[in-house]
């Protein structure tokens, strides 16, 4: 029998149909039971985490004139205040990102990088690549031992791991081209919070404690993020005086205050003292790049996402292209049949990622071929609905014949219809764990996102090849997938959803599942975000499930098909989304997996 729909909109909104399938489908009945237990599991999760979880409103947060959804209440409020003061989505993005550099040290950053996907009020799309680049003198040989074997630790800790940061340059370029309010006004909230401090939540304290050993290897980091070597407790007011000084310099001089002068000197000094090759010229030469967004379609919706050096956009559109021929609404959300088909497609797309994707300025990425419908049909043709395909039998395709907690995502929408999806990262937790001398700025370890050698996985277990090999001035491949979903109405394309996620290799599948929950399973954004997630990335050959929401009969059915199922301890991603309300305005959908909050105007 069909379950009562628990994912419907609030009474203030039109109800959407519940995702119900015919009773005769045994796979759906498994998914049906799963849906009920999922809701129970999420309620239990919220009860256990208590006040640490925000954004638990089952229908999201309404805001008629603009909204910001981020993993920090301080950042969301700062961005929302910018909107109240007459700023637009670009202004709010700058303020939000800079506050995250203060209040979310695990991934918020000045010395990291990311991708900004912007939709202007008149419906134009712009993709700003502010990904880190390899220092000019960096070579692949620096990460090999005398016998030519890769030394992965060198790309994760120490000076060789640090890429030339792009976040500050990207935010400044976004403001230059699309902002309204003065730059100084947008930096001021971050300065005040860094100067006065903010109380650590239980999760803040837990995350810092988990990296305590790494932080204590570096005196500058230990002095800020530990108490004489011991972890700071929850409730401790974290003051970052050096970071406040860096931000004041940034407010006065713009990006010049970061890429030249004492801040740049402090960063380079620390990198070189720990074995790196970055120079002041590397910092001075950094430039963000405007790229053409990728635009695809799925069941009548327009999907706008990020191009290479993101692998996320191409992978997302490949998966959607292979799924569109199948009635996922009929098989049902959470059913083993639905999960099996999605897993088999993920397996093939991640195999393609390992061979064909890299920095398009250095490698001819076959984007059109990878997204060609004929190629996608061929790629999915050998999928069996009765059994899993072992990953060792799945090789990257031949398109030319026919290709973390440690990251964060936030979404912004303004009253005029402008919207931004920004994903940014230090890569690993706290990056390298090093702070640039005298700057208060945590340094990334983004070089680990390159492929050091064939068959050598990065921190996230992802494989790569020649397309993503280490080279000076090259951008490493990323899984970040900022995305916009639009629908045609009266001849115009209207924005329906803004989304993205952190999570390393799990970013792409997290975004995919939220999008499918919204489009195929007719959930509103908050329910789509809350629903349990799963992940497969080709290698390792395992179907990973979140610890909450997948019941035994579904797991059994997947194992019977030959999947190696592992229930993980942690949750996947942090999809901070925005949905357009059908009666106007915006609905923020913060992910309950972290301390995300929505703040609106």
CA-based nearest residue to 535, from 500, 576, 561, 571: 571
Which among 93, 338, 407, 423 is annotated as catalytic? 407
Can 407 be counted among the known catalytic residues? yes
Question: Interhelix angle for 336-356 vs 373-380, to 10°?
Answer: 120
Which residues make Cβ contacts (< 8 Å) with residue 226, sequence separation at least 6? 208, 212, 215, 216, 232
Structure tokens at 566: 């592992």
CA angle, 74 as apex, 531 and 243 as ends, to 5°? Answer: 125
Cα 515 off chain centre by: 14
**16 DSSP β-pair partners:** none
Phi/psi of residue 533, each to 5°?
A: -125, 155
**481 DSSP β-pair partners:** none
CA-based nearest residue to 573, from 525, 514, 498: 514
Phi/psi of residue 112, each to 5°?
A: -120, -145
CA gap 335, 554 in Å, rounded: 7
Q: Specify the pairing of strand 407-414 against strand 66-70.
A: antiparallel
| Sign of the torsion formed by the C-alpha atoms of 176, 181, 182 and 185 | negative
3-state secondary structure 241-305: HHHHHHHHHHHHHCCHHHHCCHHHHHHHHHHHHCCCCCCHHHHHHCCCEEECCEEEEECCEEEEE
CB-CB contact of 258 with 246 (8 Å): yes
CA-based nearest residue to 502, from 406, 403, 378, 400: 406
Burial 503-514 (b: 16+ CB within 10 A, else e): bbbbbbbbbbbb
CA-based nearest residue to 165, from 131, 206, 208, 142: 131
CB-CB contact of 513 with 505 (8 Å): no
Catalytic residue numbers read 407
């Amino acid at each position: 029998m069909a379950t009562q729909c628990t994912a419907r909109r609030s009474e203030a909104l039109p109800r959407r149909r519940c995702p119900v399938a015919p009773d005769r489908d045994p796979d759906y009945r498994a998914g049906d039971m799963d849906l009920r237990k999922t809701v129970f599991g999420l309620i239990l999760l919220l009860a256990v985490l208590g006040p640490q979880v925000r954004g638990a409103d089952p229908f999201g947060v309404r805001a008629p004139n603009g909204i910001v959804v981020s993993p920090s209440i301080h950042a969301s409020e700062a961005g929302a205040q910018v909107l109240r003061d007459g700023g637009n989505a670009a202004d709010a993005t700058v303020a939000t990102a800079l506050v995250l550099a203060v209040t979310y040290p695990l991934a918020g950053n000045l010395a990291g990088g990311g991708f900004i996907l912007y939709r202007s009020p008149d419906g134009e799309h712009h993709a700003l690549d502010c990904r880190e680049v390899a220092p000019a003198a960096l070579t692949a040989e620096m990460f090999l031992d005398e016998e030519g074997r890769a030394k992965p630790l060198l790309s994760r800790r120490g000076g060789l791991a640090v890429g030339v940061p792009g976040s500050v340059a990207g935010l400044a370029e976004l403001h230059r081209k699309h902002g309204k309010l003065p730059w100084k006004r947008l930096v001021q909230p971050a300065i005040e919070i860094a100067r006065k401090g903010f109380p650590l939540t239980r999760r803040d304290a837990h995350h810092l404690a988990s990296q305590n050993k790494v932080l204590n290897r570096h005196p500058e980091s230990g002095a800020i993020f530990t108490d004489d070597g011991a972890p700071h407790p929850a409730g401790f007011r974290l003051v970052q005086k050096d970071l406040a000084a860096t931000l004041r310099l940034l407010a006065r001089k713009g990006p010049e205050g970061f890429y030249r002068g004492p801040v740049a000197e402090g960063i380079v000094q620390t990198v070189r003292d720990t074995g790196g090759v970055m120079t002041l010229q590397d910092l001075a030469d950094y430039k963000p790049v405007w790229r053409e967004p990728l635009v695809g379609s799925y069941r009548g919706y327009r999907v706008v996402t990020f191009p290479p050096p993101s692998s996320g956009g191409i992978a997302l559109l490949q998966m959607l292209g292979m799924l569109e021929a199948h009635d996922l609404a009929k098989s049902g959300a959470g059913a083993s049949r639905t999960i099996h088909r999605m897993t088999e497609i993920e397996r093939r797309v991640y195999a393609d990622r390992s061979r064909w994707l890299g920095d398009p300025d250095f490698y001819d990425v076959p984007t059109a071929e990878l997204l060609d419908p004929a190629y996608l049909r061929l790629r999915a043709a050998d999928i069996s609905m009765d059994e899993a395909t072992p990953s060792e039998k799945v090789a990257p395709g031949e398109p030319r014949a026919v290709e973390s907690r440690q990251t964060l995502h936030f979404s912004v929408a303004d009253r005029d219809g402008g919207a931004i999806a920004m994903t940014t990262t230090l890569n690993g937790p706290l990056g390298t764990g090093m702070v640039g001398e005298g700057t208060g700025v945590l340094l990334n370890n983004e070089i680990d996102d390159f492929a050091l050698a064939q068959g050598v996985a990065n921190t996230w277990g992802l494989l790569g090849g020649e397309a993503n090999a280490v080279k000076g001035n090259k951008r490493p491949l990323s899984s970040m997938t900022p995305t916009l979903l639009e629908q045609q109405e009266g001849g115009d394309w209207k924005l329906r959803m803004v989304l993205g996620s952190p999570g390393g290799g799990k970013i792409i599948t997290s975004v995919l599942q939220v999008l499918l929950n919204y489009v195929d399973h007719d959930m509103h954004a908050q329910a789509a975000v809350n629903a349990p997630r799963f992940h497969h990335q080709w290698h390792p050959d395992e179907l990973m499930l979140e610890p909450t929401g997948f019941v035994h009969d579904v797991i059994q059915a997947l194992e019977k098909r030959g999947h190696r199922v592992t229930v993980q301890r942690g949750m996947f991603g942090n999809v901070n989304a925005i949905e357009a309300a059908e009666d106007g305005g915006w609905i923020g959908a913060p992910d309950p997996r972290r301390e995300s909050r929505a703040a609106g105007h």
